[in-house]
Amino acid sequence: MKSRLWRSSPRSSRSIANTPAGQDTNASSVRYRVTFNGDVTGVDPTDFVATVVSGGLTGASVTTVTPVSASVYTVDVNTGTGTGTLRLDLVDDDSIASGAVVLGGVGTNGSFSTGQSYVIDRTPLTVTVEQAVGQADPTSQGTVSFTAVFNKDVTDFTDPDVTITGTALLMNATVAMVDAKTYTINVATTTTSGTVIASLAAGVAHDAAGNPNTASTSIDNTITVDKVVPTVASVSALNVDGSYGNAAVIHITVKFSEAVLVTGAPELSLNLAPLPVRVVKYVSGSGTDTLVFDYTVNPADNVARLDYASTSALALAGGTIADAATNSAVLTLPAPGAAGSLGANKNIVIDTAPHLLSAALAFWSNGRRQFRDAHRHQPAGHRVQSRRLWPSPRSASRPRRPC
């Protein structure tokens, strides 16, 4: 009998669908469309229940039933508070009928609980903006990159949504989607140095439920752009002015306009002309603005005023000298002897003349005491300084012999 009645009289609910279609919302009220397979009467809020399928939604309730036609009804549901999945179910209590025939026949057989659900999403949409993984900072690159990561998928995040600030000449950002939560923000740099800072103001992007983003947070969303190339400011030495002999070490300092990083062993050629041209190696200073090149005086070296060989005497020799942003240093030195040069900043004499002849003559003609006196007056690093020593009166009458 039931099956016959079913066939002869429409009296079941055919569907309960979201209206408008769409699942995610943060609305305080949602609407379902309930469609029966025939005209019915007696449909009211007590025939429905707002079922929380999942999540922490509380306080959801059916508020209004409005007929669209005798077989179609809209049902408005207050979505309560919190976040969760909400479905509208029809609970058959035989109060809905088509003529004399109750829904589904006598009993709770007309209940319906397989309709569509809404995802009520009130979780705030948050976003972080950080300099991209692998992004050099500081950098001299033509483009710098940040990464924006939302906690949920967004669909409306575009170039103008990015705020670029900082002290570099500000360029517009371009946004490239990695996935619906993750976006790369690229910013072209100019010839201007400074900082580039990327952020998102609140409300520029939305999740599927319509929640606007809160303002972005960051641990490091600042990239320093450095387009200034290091240059040599001056060359000097750690040693005091004076005369230096064989095996003395002259610590030559090359000061740059900013801190530089060194790889390998750059070289500095000195002016010990005509031969040999001494090439000395970098020894320390990477990470600071002053590099040290150590010159150990060789036995044959002599020069009245130590300097480097030319404006191009500083050479990489397979190494590198660059700032932290990888701008390679300009290696041009002040002209030898000109302001800023080693020769201008220091008066360092290299004197390794053996002077053995004069010393022997002195010893022969003047005796041990005078030689000791002469030796005592030599500058540091010298065994003997060339000077003329007059014979003593006692030995003056002895004829001198060439050695």
What does the binding site for Ca ion look like in residue numbers (CB under 5 A)? 92, 94, 102-104, 110, 131, 137, 220, 222, 226, 228, 323, 327
Q: Could you tell me the two tokens for 123?
A: 């979780």
| Least spacing, CB of residue 38 vs Ca ion, in Å | 14
Do strands 24-25 and 29-36 pair parallel, antiparallel, or not at all (unpaired)? unpaired
* SS3 at position 388: coil
Q: Which is nearer to Ca ion, 220 or 241 (CB)?
A: 220
CA distance 198 to 144: 10
| Least spacing, CB of residue 39 vs Ca ion, in Å | 16
Q: Which is nearer to Ca ion, 9 or 131 (CB)?
A: 131
Q: Which is nearer to Ca ion, 19 or 163 (CB)?
A: 163
Q: Which is nearer to Ca ion, 220 or 373 (CB)?
A: 220
| Least spacing, CB of residue 92 vs Ca ion, in Å | 4
Please name every residue paired with 84 in a beta bridge, in sequence order, or none if there are none: 55, 120
CA distance 219 to 167: 19
Q: Which helix (H) or strand (E) holds 25?
A: strand 24-25
CA distance 368 to 263: 53
Q: Which is nearer to Ca ion, 108 or 296 (CB)?
A: 108
Q: Which is nearer to Ca ion, 2 or 398 (CB)?
A: 2
Closest by Cα among 84, 40, 32 to 63: 32
| Least spacing, CB of residue 213 vs Ca ion, in Å | 22
| Least spacing, CB of residue 46 vs Ca ion, in Å | 14
HSE-CB at 292 with a 13 A cutoff on CA atoms is: 13
Question: Per-residue DSSP letters for 141-169?
Answer: -SEEEEEEEESS-BS---GGGEEEESSSP
CA distance 293 to 253: 6
| Least spacing, CB of residue 128 vs Ca ion, in Å | 14
